[in-house]
């Protein structure tokens, strides 16, 4: 078998964390796997992401996928190399008023019913846990099982494991056509594979026209090293309002402590912006929001600002499974801001479908066919 | 305006002419501004705010460029971190 002309059982388009996790999972099942990426591993949303492993409760399906995937990360943690910077720092959902405190209690009850440990923090307990936060705030919800990773290093590790099991990586190769068991590259080469997986994130609709995945732009800031400033990933409860608003640009307080003692400061969400330039107006709004929660952030030095594009779907759930019109083609995209968290569960569900084995959680909510059904009834 | 100003570098008083930068005070009292990630001592290199080698902590704010900040009375400067 020579280079690009070789055949594979499964060809994965996209070497982000989802494609990388799928490659590893399928290689573990003794399939011959090929991964093709137009540039390099984690060059899209994965490389731009914060890397927050978080259990979410927007819907039962989102809870099931994030929770399942979090347990997979926890099982993997001892094997992860140090540069993946896995840190089980926990999340604190910060409440500023009585309405948000009610949301803390609702969220706590929801997680408790589903055996996810949480701790309700009153104003004093929140201040004690995070002395840098503006005082007094109403309280918060600590979810101690949430973690942080360095996504680019995690994707590289998954690909390295896949390659050790025989997976072939084709980097710097742009795909011009993906379908009917064939992948055509810009340089004219054709790759044949029994199954194709479109895991190309926000670019997925370019390779598979008609699927509803849109880029949702985000900004992030990283600071210099300030040990002890923040101890948990801190997210405002208003974050949900921001993440759900589909019409307008929004910002939310979301700060993450890195193992390097740096802080990642987010977050912003924008539809309909295609250029990747940093936008001073959005950046300023995002930082002002962060300063409202942690005034001392104003005095810190930022060393870099960048943007990225989340692959967003209309119903906030990823597309994992066969693309009905083409029996060779599967989708693993549309993870929006949860791709790092849900990459491992996505890989398990993808493997279950390709190998015809039983999945650990119901996979129906994530099947791409739901979009077609929605279209019919629209 | 007084001719001199006294600041504290790692708790030791240093007196410099008014208008002198923190980098001057640090160099008069200690040869080190900060310690790099790999443990090496660092000192001012460009002295014009571009290289970031001269970062120190000033009044509890870390990573400030000492060559860009004028000394003020009673400033508490921490170096070697």
Q: What is the mean pLDDT of residues A299-310?
A: 96
The confidence score (pLDDT) of residue A6 equals 53
Is residue B54 pLDDT above 90, yes or no? yes
A115 touches chain B (CB under 8 A): no
The confidence score (pLDDT) of residue A333 equals 98
Grade residue A1 by pLDDT with cuts at 50, 70 and 90: very low
Per residue in A133-151, pLDDT tens? 999 999 999 999 999 999 9
The confidence score (pLDDT) of residue A248 equals 80
Decide whether A3-48+151-212+316-377 matches A88-145+214-311 in CATH topology: no
List the single range of A6-10, A257-261, A348-352 with lowest mean pLDDT: A6-10
Grade residue A377 by pLDDT with cuts at 50, 70 and 90: low
Q: Kindly provide the ipTM of the predicted complex, given to two decimals.
A: 0.76
Q: Which architecture, in CATH terms, is B4-78?
A: Roll (3.10)
List the single range of A65-69, A187-191, A244-248, A259-263 with lowest mean pLDDT: A244-248
The confidence score (pLDDT) of residue A325 equals 85
Grade residue A101 by pLDDT with cuts at 50, 70 and 90: very high
Is residue A375 pLDDT above 90, yes or no? no
Grade residue B13 by pLDDT with cuts at 50, 70 and 90: very high
Classify residue A253 by burial, with Cβ atoms within 10 Å: 0-12, 13-18, 19+.
Answer: buried
Domain-wise residue ranges, chain A: 3-48+151-212+316-377, 88-145+214-311
Widest Cα–Cα separation across chain B: 42
Q: What is the mean pLDDT of residues A191-209?
A: 96
User: Smallest CA–CA separation between A302 and chain B, in Å?
Assistant: 10
The confidence score (pLDDT) of residue B81 equals 85
**Are A296 and A259 contacting, i.e. CB atoms less than 8 angstroms apart?**
no
Long-range contacts of A174-181 (CB under 8 A, 24+ apart): A174/A38, A175/A13, A175/A36, A175/A38, A175/A200, A175/A207, A177/A207, A178/A13, A178/A207, A178/A208, A178/A329, A179/A208, A179/A326, A179/A328, A179/A329, A180/A326, A180/A328, A180/A329, A181/A328
Is residue A374 pLDDT above 60, yes or no? no
pTM of the predicted model as reported, rounded to 2 decimal places:
0.91
H helices of A165-295, where? 204-207, 239-244, 280-293
Q: Considering just the CA atoms, what is the radius of gyration of chain A in Å?
A: 21
Q: Identify the CA nearest to B23 among candidates B15, B33, B14, B10.
A: B33
Is residue A245 pLDDT above 70, yes or no? no
B61 and A299 within 8 Å at the Cβ level: the answer is yes
The confidence score (pLDDT) of residue B37 equals 87
Q: In terms of CATH, what superfamily is A88-145+214-311? A: D-Amino Acid Oxidase, subunit A, domain 2 (3.30.9.10)
Q: What is the mean pLDDT of residues A55-75?
A: 97
A226 touches chain B (CB under 8 A): yes
The confidence score (pLDDT) of residue A183 equals 95
Grade residue A191 by pLDDT with cuts at 50, 70 and 90: very high
The pair of three-digit structure tokens given for residue A287, joined into one six-digit string: 């930082």
The confidence score (pLDDT) of residue B31 equals 84
The confidence score (pLDDT) of residue A3 equals 40
Residue B57 φ/ψ, nearest 5 degrees: -100, 130
The confidence score (pLDDT) of residue A243 equals 59
User: Smallest CA–CA separation between A274 and chain B, in Å?
Assistant: 32
Residue A330 three-state SS: strand
Is residue A27 pLDDT above 80, yes or no? yes
The confidence score (pLDDT) of residue A130 equals 98
Residue A3 φ/ψ, nearest 5 degrees: 40, -130
When the pLDDT of each residue in chain A is averaged and rounded to a whole number, the result is 94
Q: Which residues on chain B place their C-beta less than 8 Å from a C-beta of chain A? A: 55, 61-64
Residue B34 three-state SS: strand
**Chain B hits for A226, Cβ within 8 Å:** 62-63
Q: Which top CATH class is A3-48+151-212+316-377?
A: alpha beta
**Are A299 and A291 contacting, i.e. CB atoms less than 8 angstroms apart?**
no
**Chain B hits for A225, Cβ within 8 Å:** 62-63
Q: Which residue has the tokens 């949430």?
A: A146
Is residue A5 pLDDT above 50, yes or no? no
Is residue A209 pLDDT above 80, yes or no? yes
**Chain A hits for B61, Cβ within 8 Å:** 299-300
Q: What percent of chain A lies above the pLDDT cut of 70? A: 94
Element (H, E) at A256: strand A250-257
User: Smallest CA–CA separation between A301 and chain B, in Å?
Assistant: 7
Which of A299, A300, A302, A304 should one mutate to test binding to chain B, selecting the residue with the greatest count of B CBs within 10 A? A299
- C-alpha A373: how far from its chain's center? 25
Per residue in A316-360, pLDDT tens? 999 999 998 899 999 999 999 999 999 999 999 999 999 999 999
The confidence score (pLDDT) of residue A222 equals 98
């Amino acid at each position: 078998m020579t280079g690009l002309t070789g055949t594979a059982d499964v060809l994965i388009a996209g070497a982000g964390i989802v494609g990388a996790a799928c490659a590893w999972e399928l290689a573990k099942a003794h399939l011959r796997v090929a991964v093709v990426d137009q540039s390099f591993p984690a060059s899209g949303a994965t490389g731009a992401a914060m890397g927050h492993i978080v259990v979410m409760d927007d819907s039962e399906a989102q809870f099931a996928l994030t929770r399942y995937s979090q347990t997979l990360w926890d099982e993997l943690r001892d094997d992860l190399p140090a540069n993946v910077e896995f840190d089980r720092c926990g999340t604190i959902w910060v409440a500023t008023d009585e309405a948000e405190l009610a949301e803390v209690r609702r969220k706590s009850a929801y997680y408790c019913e589903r055996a996810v440990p949480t701790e309700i923090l009153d104003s004093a307990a929140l201040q004690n846990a995070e002395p840098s936060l503006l005082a007094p705030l109403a309280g918060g919800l600590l979810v101690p099982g949430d973690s942080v990773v360095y996504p680019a290093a995690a994707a590289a590790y998954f690909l390295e494991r896949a390659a050790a099991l025989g997976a072939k990586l084709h980097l710097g190769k742009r795909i011009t056509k993906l379908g009917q068991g064939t992948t055509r590259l810009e340089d004219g080469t054709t790759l044949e594979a029994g199954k194709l997986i479109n895991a190309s994130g926000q670019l997925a609709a370019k390779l598979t026209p008609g699927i509803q995945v849109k880029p949702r732009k985000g900004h992030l800031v990283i600071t210099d090293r300030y040990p002890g400033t923040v101890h948990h990933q801190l997210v405002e409860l208003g974050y949900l309002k921001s993440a759900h608003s589909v019409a307008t640009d929004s910002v939310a307080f979301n700060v993450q402590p890195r193992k390097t003692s740096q802080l990642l400061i987010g977050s912003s969400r924008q539809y309909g912006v295609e250029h990747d330039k940093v936008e001073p107006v959005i950046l300023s709004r995002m930082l002002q929001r962060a300063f409202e929660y942690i005034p001392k952030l104003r005095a810190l030095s930022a060393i870099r600002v960048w943007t990225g594009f989340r692959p967003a779907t209309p119903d906030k759930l990823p597309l994992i499974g066969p693309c009905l019109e083409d029996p060779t083609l599967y989708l693993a995209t549309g993870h929006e801001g949860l791709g790092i968290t849900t990459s491992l569960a996505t890989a398990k569900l993808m493997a279950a479908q390709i190998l015809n084995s039983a999945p650990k959680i119901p996979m129906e909510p994530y099947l791409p066919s739901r979009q077609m059904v929605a279209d019919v009834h629209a | 305006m007084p001719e001199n100003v006294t600041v504290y570098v790692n708790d030791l008083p240093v007196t410099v002419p008014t208008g002198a930068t923190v980098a001057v005070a640090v160099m008069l009292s200690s040869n080190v501004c900060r310690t790099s990630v790999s443990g090496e001592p660092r000192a001012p290199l460009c002295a014009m705010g571009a290289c970031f080698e001269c970062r120190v902590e000033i009044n509890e704010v870390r990573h400030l460029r000492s060559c860009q900040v004028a000394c003020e009375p009673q400033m508490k400067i921490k170096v070697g971190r």
